[in-house]
């Protein structure tokens, strides 16, 4: 890793900056300072500070341009727009876990070959088994999900939205298969955590398909929800 890479990684240690980079990566085109700050949910001055830090570290580049097509007198002052400076670097932030996805898929195929069960059924079974093995009864679920790259964010209701999908490229191309396995995997992680939670499928644009509820919520028993 070069010194430039180290500088960029250090800049991206800040969660707001990672979110700014994710927005620009998803957009595929330059975005203005005001729009970026608004979408991240921070004041304009705070957004500007983080954006300039990303420019200084070489992650982003900035340019001045007019909004819309109007030019010349009366068009107003040009605004500052930002875009990714290095697509190949940004693609590795946030972390992905394609190694885990490959292990789950390969194990599912082997199980299907050996038992004659449908591959989809085997994949859900393998995902749940791996999630159970990866759970930790001594740690909160949020800590385990964070270590795995899901980037859990408090939803202000006692639950989490997962800001990152560790299987992003696969889930965007094979949504039903990968998201089903992902839900089974996270549900098993949750079941073995120190604060087990209900999980369900609720795709988040730019994030993960799995939603995590408050620790006080438990799955319904005999059709009756319990707290």
pLDDT tens track for 86-128: 654 544 556 678 889 999 999 999 999 999 999 999 999 999 9
What does DSSP assign to residue 97?
A: -
> Same domain, yes or no, for 48 and 123?
no
> Same domain, yes or no, for 80 and 103?
no
> Same domain, yes or no, for 118 and 64?
no
Note whether 47 and 32 are within 8 A (CB): no
Residue 38 belongs to domain with CATH number:
1.10.10.10
> Same domain, yes or no, for 113 and 171?
yes
**Quick one: which H or E segment has residue 82?**
strand 79-84
- Last residue of a domain, which of 37, 67, 90? 90
- Phi/psi at 32 (5° precision): -80, 160
- Last residue of a domain, which of 54, 72, 90? 90
In angstroms, the CA 83 to CA 25 distance is 8
- Residue 67: pLDDT band (50, 70, 90) is low
> Same domain, yes or no, for 78 and 102?
no
In angstroms, the CA 6 to CA 159 distance is 33
| Average confidence score pLDDT of the chain | 83
> Same domain, yes or no, for 103 and 132?
yes
> Same domain, yes or no, for 112 and 218?
yes
**Quick one: which H or E segment has residue 154?**
strand 152-154
pLDDT tens track for 161-201: 998 889 988 898 899 999 999 999 999 999 999 999 999 99
> Same domain, yes or no, for 144 and 172?
yes
Angle, in degrees to the nearest 10, between helices 98-115 and 175-191: 100
Q: 201 has which bridge partners? A: 210
> Same domain, yes or no, for 111 and 77?
no
Taking the model in full, what pTM does it have? 0.58
- Last residue of a domain, which of 90, 125, 155? 90
**Coil/strand/helix, residue 61:** strand
Note whether 131 and 187 are within 8 A (CB): yes
pLDDT tens track for 17-45: 888 988 888 787 899 999 999 999 999 99
How many domains does one find in the chain? 2
- Residue 204: pLDDT band (50, 70, 90) is confident
Note whether 180 and 122 are within 8 A (CB): no
The residue segments making up the domain with residue 86 are 3-90
Q: Which two tokens stand for residue 62?
A: 């900035």
> Same domain, yes or no, for 13 and 115?
no
Determine the longest span between alpha carbons in the chain, in angstroms: 74
């Amino acid at each position: 890793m070069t010194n430039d890479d180290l500088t960029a990684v250090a800049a991206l240690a800040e969660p707001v900056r990672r979110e700014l980079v994710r927005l620009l990566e998803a957009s595929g085109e330059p975005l203005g300072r005001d729009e970026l700050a608004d979408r991240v949910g921070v004041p304009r001055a705070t957004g500007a500070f983080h954006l300039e830090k990303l420019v200084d570290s070489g992650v982003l580049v900035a340019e001045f341009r007019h909004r819309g097509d109007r030019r010349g007198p009366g068009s107003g002052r040009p605004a500052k727009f930002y875009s990714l400076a290095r697509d190949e670097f940004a693609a590795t932030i946030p972390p992905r876990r394609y190694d885990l996805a490959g292990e789950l898929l390969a194990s599912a195929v082997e199980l299907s070959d050996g038992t004659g069960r449908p591959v989809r059924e085997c994949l859900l079974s393998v995902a749940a088994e791996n999630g159970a093995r990866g759970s930790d009864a001594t740690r909160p679920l949020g800590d385990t999900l964070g270590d795995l790259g899901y980037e859990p964010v408090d939803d202000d209701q006692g639950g989490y939205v997962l800001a990152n999908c560790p299987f992003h490229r696969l889930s965007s191309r094979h949504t039903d298969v990968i998201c089903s396995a992902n839900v089974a995997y996270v549900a098993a992680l949750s079941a073995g955590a120190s604060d087990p939670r209900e999980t369900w499928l609720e795709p988040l644009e730019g994030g993960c398909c799995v939603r995590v509820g408050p620790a006080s919520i438990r799955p319904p028993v005999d059709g009756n929800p319990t707290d």
